[in-house]
Amino acid sequence: MKNSVFQFIKERGKPPADPTEPKGSFLYLKAELPDVSFVYDVIRDESALLFCDANIFSGGNLAMVREVLRRNDVLVVPPIVGELQKYAALPPRTRDDAEVANLIFKDRSLVPTIKIVSPARYKSLLPALCYYVNLILQRKAAKGYLEQVLEIQSGKPLTKLERDRLSRSLGGLSKGTSKMANKEGHHERAADELLVVTAMFEAIWLRRNIVILSFDDDVFTQFFKLMSLMAEDYLSHLVALDYEARPERYPTKYDLSHYHEFDGLIGDKSNSFAVVKPRDIVTLFPPSDDEPVVAMLKPVERPEIMWTQCLSGYGDFLEAKSRARGSNIDRSDGLNCYAQLTVTAGPQQLPRVPLAFFVNDRLFFEDSKEGFRISLLDLTRSVADVEKPIVDFRGSALVSRDA
Q: Where are the domains of the chain?
A: 5-383
SS3 354: coil
Contact call for residues 98 and 92 (beta carbons, < 8 A): yes
d(CA 111, CA 104): 6
* 140: phi then psi, degrees, rounded to nearest 5: -75, -15
Using alpha carbons, select from 44, 309, 316, 77 the residue that is nearest to residue 203.
309
pLDDT of residue 185: 52
Residue numbers of the chain with a pLDDT score lower than 70: 1-28, 143-155, 158, 162-188, 343-346, 385-403
pLDDT digits (tens, 9 = 90+) for 68-84: 999 999 999 999 999 99
d(CA 259, CA 350): 7
d(CA 374, CA 384): 15
CA 358 to chain centre: 23
Q: First and final CA of the chain: distance in angstroms?
A: 31
Contact call for residues 239 and 281 (beta carbons, < 8 A): yes
Q: 191: which residues sit within 8 A by CB, 6+ positions away?
A: 53, 54, 77, 79, 80, 83
pLDDT of residue 10: 61
Let me know if 86 is exposed, middle or buried by CB neighbors in 10 A (0-12, 13-18, 19+): exposed
d(CA 165, CA 153): 17
Contact call for residues 310 and 291 (beta carbons, < 8 A): yes
The pTM of this model reads: 0.86
SS3 176: helix
